[in-house]
Amino acid sequence: MNIRHSMRSYLPLFKHELVSVAIFSMMTNLMMLAPTLYLLQLYDRVMLSKNELTLLSITLITCFFFVVMAFSEWVRSTSAIKAGVKFDQLLTSRLFRLGFAKNTQSAGQEANQAMQDLTFIRQFLTSNGLFAFFDMPWTLLYVAVLFILSPVLGVLAIILCIIQFGLALWNQRSSDQPLQQAGQARSTALQFIESKVRNIETLHVLGMLPHIRTRWQAVQNRWNQLDATAVQVQNRNQQINKFARYTMQSAMLGIAALLAVKGDISIGAMIASNVLIARALQPFDIIVSTWKQVIQARQSANKIDSLLASELHSEPDFGTPEIEIKGKLTLEQLTVTLENSGKTLLHNINLEIHPGQILGVMGPSGSGKTTLARCLIGVCPWQAGTLLVDGYPIANLPAQTYAKSIGYLPQDIALIEGTIADNIARFEQPDAAKVIQAAQAAGIHEGILRLPRGYDTRLDDTNAVLSGGQRQLVGLARAIYQQPAIIVLDEPNSHLDENGEASLLASLLLLKNQGKTIVIISHRSNILKITDVLLIMENGAVSHHGPRDEVIAELNQNKLNQAKQKLASKAA
């Protein structure tokens, strides 16, 4: 498969559209000579001959040229729109996949930003700014006609075009930095709002809104200031450009009038020269007025290029054949270190977890339990060590193969907008029998049936229709929906009452009997009833590991020894 890693690599696919825009831009600019020819005929022929038939004829011919010009502009606009749609269709799904490829909290923001960048580029493809670039080469045509009218007018036109080009270049250099800074400040402000909206209830309850508002105002003020600066620079440049254009057109008309007075050109040529220089300078004027769109499109293209290039560094496909994962997990010297701070979250973890076994993971907060769970499900990068799944390095397994073999219940239950059935079925086409089976195994089937629309009940971002315990059980049903070989549950009983916890334990025993590999992270001791192996973590390292009863006995003995030592120290 030919994978393209930059925007430029897609250009050959738009050859037809680009050629169409170029051809009809040529037709449009040729037809733009019609007003000039009409003025020449009007002043140099009709006004002298006073022949009404001649006037009618050249008027009809000019109207025909205008129809051709309008048709050409419509066709090139249509071609640009088709190119925009084609561009979107080519890149949307790929950018969506790459945006969500990273297993990090920022993946959604990257995907959203990629979609926004794609929209900016698509809008630019249908803007006047793009057409101005296609019209600019035809400035030479208008200059050539001015040379035909008078070499003096032709030379003057070249000088004026050079001045206008210099003004456009100055506009680009003077507005680039302010526009980029304003764009970055805008992204920062939007990300600030998005991050706070996700936690709106907590902000209200804890009275944090006034303080958040103060910080937001600082972020917003910076954006407003930078945006105002960028707009001021653009407005200043546009006004200077407008002044220069009007002055140059007037200069052209004045020089042409002088030549007409001397008899070097006709009155028609004098009027026509003003129309020609206006048309010659128009592309430069449009580029200056739409430069903000140009900058935005260029920035978006660079961001998309970076995202496409990241595919080069993604995990390679080693061609591992489709295998049936049984669920044996082997960790060898697994170490996780934060890149930014250098803090080590896991220290040389060596562990084996077998199918048909329930491993309980316990330890104080911050001991690395959740990091270990994220490593097991393949979403936590590590700097050292190996994670083997049935003897295969996890990096060598196709992502979808491993995803189908994993059931994961995180601490924060993230149910996505859609129906309960969609969430349980992982947004595949729901299989009613499997959905009900998973819900029954999780102990939430009866609770769902009591809802007004049952499994068709829609969830939104708040998930207010479900209690915390119900969300947890729906998350559990989603984890076990595809009968995965490996099930990792992070605090699965944190929101459950006694009945819910009893139902959870029964479900886990059933899954264990089916030969599933189960890892449970929990602070609650009731979960110990069903665990086979117990792992105690402290400060990112394994403190105790072994059969449940042996570890518990060892812990109790340690507590007894510590108590004796305290008594002995007090007696001394």
pLDDT, position 63: 92
Determine, yes or no, domain membership for 311.
Answer: no
pLDDT confidence band for 275 (50 / 70 / 90) = confident
Report yes or no on 25 lying in a domain.
yes
Low-confidence winner among 146-155, 378-387, 422-431 (lowest mean pLDDT)? 378-387
In a domain, 387, yes or no: yes
| CB-based contact 84:96 (threshold 8 Å) | no
Are 356 and 503 part of one and the same domain? yes
Q: What percent of the chain has pLDDT over 70?
A: 88
Together in a domain, 397 and 460: yes
Contact assessment for residue 435 and residue 424, using Cβ atoms and an 8 Å cutoff: yes
> Quick one: three-class SS letters along 105-147?
CCHHHHHHHHHHHHHHHHHHHCCHHHHHHHHHHHHHHHHHHHH
Contacts (Cβ under 8 Å, ≥6 apart) of 42: 55, 58, 268
User: What confidence tens digit (pLDDT) does each residue in 323-334 have?
Assistant: 778 888 888 888
What pLDDT sits at residue 336? 85
Specify whether 238 is located in the same domain as 172: yes
Q: Are 166 and 56 in the same domain?
A: no
Cβ pair 415, 391 in contact under 8 A: no
Q: CA 386, CA 22: separation in Å to the nearest integer?
A: 56
pLDDT above 80: residue 292: no
**What pTM, to 2 d.p., does this model score?**
0.61
Q: Are residues 93 and 226 in the same domain?
A: no
Tell me which residue range forms the domain holding 442: 329-571
Structure tokens at 237: 């440049």
Closest CA to 199 of 214, 213, 209: 209
Spacing of C-alpha 530 from chain mean position: 43
> Using CA atoms, how far apart are residues 393 and 382, in angstroms rounded to an integer?
13
Last residue of a domain, one of 260, 289, 318: 289
pLDDT, tens digit, 9 for 90 and up, residues 524-552: 777 888 888 888 888 888 888 888 888 88
Contact indicator for 477, 442 with CB cutoff of 8 Å: yes
Number of domains in the chain: 3
pLDDT 10s digits, 193-212: 766 665 665 666 666 677 77
430 burial level (CB within 10 Å; 0-12, 13-18, 19+): buried
> Is 103 domain-assigned?
yes
Q: Residue 67: which pLDDT band, with cuts at 50, 70 and 90?
A: very high
294 within a domain of the structure (yes/no): no
- The number of beta carbons lying within 10 Å of the beta carbon of residue 146 is 26
454 belongs to a structural domain: yes
**Pair (501, 405) in one structural domain:** yes
Q: Which range among 241-250, 369-378, 492-501 shows the weakest confidence by mean pLDDT? A: 492-501
pLDDT band at 71 (very low <50, low <70, confident <90, very high): very high
158 and 119 housed in the same domain: no
Q: Does a structural domain hold residue 134?
A: no
Q: What is the CATH number of the domain that holds 254?
A: 1.20.1560.10
Say how far apart CA 46 and CA 64 lie, in whole Å.
19
Buried/exposed 160-180: b ≥16 CB within 10 Å, e otherwise: bbebbbebbeebeeebbebbb
CATH assignment at residue 517: 3.40.50.300
| Greatest pairwise CA separation for the chain in angstroms | 131
Amino acid letter at 497?
Answer: D
Tell me which amino acid residue 62 is: T
Three-state DSSP at 523 gives coil
* 28 within a domain of the structure (yes/no): yes
Please identify, among 241, 267, 289, the residue that sits at the C-terminal boundary of a domain.
289
The last residue of a domain, from among 127, 156, 178: 127
Beta strand pairing call for 418-419 and 458-459:
antiparallel
Say yes or no: 105 and 185 in one domain: no
Mean pLDDT of 110-131: 76
pLDDT at 64 over 90: yes
Measure the CA–CA gap between 488 and 493, rounded to whole angstroms.
13
High-pLDDT (> 90) share of the chain, % = 2
Q: Which of 51-65, 78-92, 481-495 has the highest mean pLDDT?
A: 51-65
Residues 111 and 144 in one domain: no
pLDDT at 558 > cutoff 90: no
One domain, residues 163 and 109: no
Based on the domain organization, do 368 and 514 belong to the same domain?
A: yes
Position 138 scores a pLDDT of 86
Do 61 and 146 belong together in one domain? no
Q: Report the mean per-residue pLDDT for the chain.
A: 80
CB atoms within 10 A of CB 487: 26
222: tokens are: 């910076």
